[in-house]
Structure 1
Amino acid sequence: MSQGRTTEGVRDQRAELAEANHVLVDQGILDGFGHVSVRSAEDPDTFLLARNLAPGLVQPEDVQVFTLQGETDDPRKPYLERYIHSEIYRARPDVRAVVHSHSPAVIPFGVSTVPLRPILHMAGFLAPRVPVFEARDTLGSGSDLLVGTAASGAALAEVLGDAAVVLMRGHGFTSVATSIPEVVYRAVYTGVNARVQAEALRLGECTYLSDEEAAATVATNTPQIGRAWQYWRDRTA
């Protein structure tokens, strides 16, 4: 591949990553905090993540390049929890994009005995399980709950396993996927499912998607993600 095409590819990923930040803010998944990253298309042993900045303010020029050890040559201040991203990329070669959110709608399912389960057909990716990361198991009883080291990032990645979403007790959630549009879709519908499930539980016992139904909805919905991505992106243009 020519240097010109390589540079163009990096520029495109930076622009798409900035768009993802804006979409996630518009959809109420990120606010002044949280972040989204993408594995580099040019070097899979690196990933792109904005500098330490509120997501709604991120522009392509704010994107930094990190190694899978969470290191960068960029002198600007990085996010404290970049290790969420670096360690998931290290543990999951299939993952191409990661979102970390503090969505209030999702947090109750990480602090209660009620598991987050797919209740609507747009969230079949939540099956067969949504694990919960307990920071005390790794960071002790007096931590700030932040994943600020490679060791805690690796522990989070281990709890995530092969799932699409992991809850973080008292903190938020992290979703993973094979592209920026897909990880944004999963983050958005994780929040939607959490709100719908909480409302349904107020009415009584719920009927959840079976694993077979969930798999079928994923097969149907995944090819349609681009439609939602275009709409969300155009809203923030």
Structure 2
Amino acid sequence: MTAVAGTRDGSDVPQEQSADGSTDQRRELAKANHVLVDQGILDGFGHVSVRSDEDPTTFLLARNLAPGLVQPQDVQVLTLDGDTDDPRKPYLERHIHAQIYRARPDVRAVVHSHSPAVIPFGVSSVPLRPILHMAGFLAPRVPVFEARDTMGAGSDLLVSSAESGVALAEALGDAAVVLMRGHGSTTVGGSLPEVVYRAIYTEVNARVQVEAERLGACTYLTDEEAAATVATNTPQIGRAWQYWQDRAV
């Protein structure tokens, strides 16, 4: 059955509940995977996780599987060291999630994606900046993680160790999104609906920014405008979340 529960990001979002009334995070995480595939943020690669409601020192993440195929039974429980008792193969880049959760107690959900419009901003001198009101969370900055600084000149760019996960979390700092040069991006949020919203609108903003800059000088959101849009939009995330779920069968 479905109930409306107030989330930590301040929005009212319909959440799946199990028979005993507890939030079924595995089912919601599977839906988040499907939404992100439907919206073109994930494809055969990338992943999304959520901090456990039962034990905040653990998080839920699917086993090593294409996101569009993830079902509730595919979800594993991992520690902040990236370890799991589940014998099935975990994602190589689980340390992205583990070390961000360790460094940021405020983060409840994480998305790592390779969405195409975002990648150019991680390899060029042009910063990704909020240009539309749905992406105010990009202010005041979107940092770029340089893998060479931690993993050397010959790495595969994957954040597949605790050390590289720590470095990524440090690059993220207190931002909502960190770009990963030549790789993709990682987005954080206060709930699964919020992080899905942010991952989608990071990609939308990147596309719009490229198109706008072709026309000439752009007017971006000020930090004050960005903060105001976040305050207005956050309580509305549940509306989009329900629509996206209905689309993603």
User: Under TM normalisation by the shorter chain, which class is it?
Assistant: over 0.9
TM-score, scaled to structure 2: 0.92
Distance 2:122 2:39 in 1: 21
Pairs within 5 Å for 1:73-222: 73-222=85-234
User: What does residue 5 of structure 2 align with?
Assistant: none
Distance 2:23 2:242 in 1: 19
> Given that residues 119 and 179 in structure 2 are in contact (C-alpha distance below 8 angstroms), is that contact kept between their aligned partners in structure 1?
yes
Compared CA separation, residues 62 and 110, structure 1 to 2 (3 A): same
Shift of 1:11: 6.6
Give the number of equivalent residue pairs.
Answer: 233
Distance 2:217 2:83 in 1: 47
> Given that residues 124 and 214 in structure 1 are in contact (C-alpha distance below 8 angstroms), is that contact kept between their aligned partners in structure 2?
yes
User: What does residue 236 of structure 1 align with?
Assistant: 248
Unpaired runs of at least 5, structure 1? none
Identity %: 83
Shift of 1:212: 0.1
Shift of 1:9: 6.9
After the TM superposition, which segments of 4 or more aligned residues of structure 1 sit over 2 Å from their partners? Answer: 5-11
Compared CA separation, residues 118 and 149, structure 1 to 2 (3 A): same
More helix by share: 1
Q: CA RMSD in A?
A: 1.4
User: What does residue 49 of structure 2 align with?
Assistant: 37
Distance 1:17 1:126 in 2: 24
> Given that residues 18 and 24 in structure 2 are in contact (C-alpha distance below 8 angstroms), is that contact kept between their aligned partners in structure 1?
no
Shift of 1:236: 1.3
Distance 2:168 2:217 in 1: 31
> Given that residues 10 and 42 in structure 1 are in contact (C-alpha distance below 8 angstroms), is that contact kept between their aligned partners in structure 2?
no
Unpaired runs of at least 5, structure 2? 1-16
1:2-41 CA-partner distances (Å, limit 9, x unpaired): xxx9995777100000000000000000000000000000
Compared CA separation, residues 188 and 113, structure 1 to 2 (3 A): same
> Given that residues 9 and 41 in structure 1 are in contact (C-alpha distance below 8 angstroms), is that contact kept between their aligned partners in structure 2?
no
